[in-house]
Amino acid sequence: MLVDLLHVSRNIRRSPASSGAAILTLTLTLGAGASIFAVVDAAIVLTPPPFTNPDNLLGRTMGPQARTIWDSLEFRTPAILRATESLSEAELRWQPPNAGNSIAWLLWHIPEVEDNWVRDKLLNLPKRYPFGVSVKAHSHGEWPSKNALLSYFREVRALTKDRLEQTREEEFDRMIADEHFGSITVRQAWGGVLTSCAWHGGQIIFIVNRLLAKAGASVTSS
Walk along the chain (222 residues) and give the pLDDT tens digit of each residue: 555 555 555 655 666 665 555 555 555 565 555 555 454 455 545 555 544 445 444 445 799 999 999 999 999 899 999 989 889 999 999 988 888 899 999 999 999 999 999 999 999 999 999 999 999 998 767 899 999 999 999 999 999 999 999 999 999 999 999 888 899 999 999 999 999 999 999 999 999 988 777 665 445 444
Residue 170 pLDDT:
95
Residue 212 pLDDT:
76
Residue 67 pLDDT:
96
Q: pTM above the 0.75 mark?
A: no
Residue 162: exposure state from Cβ atoms within 10 A (0-12, 13-18, ≥19): exposed
Q: Where are the domains of the chain?
A: 2-46, 61-220
Residue 108: exposure state from Cβ atoms within 10 A (0-12, 13-18, ≥19): buried
| Homologous superfamily of domain range 61-220 | dinb family like domain (1.20.120.450)
CA distance 136 to 110: 12
CA distance 149 to 85: 10
Say which DSSP state 56 is in: G
Closest to 95 in 3D by CA, of 161, 140, 38, 54 = 140
For residue 144, give the H/E element and its range: none
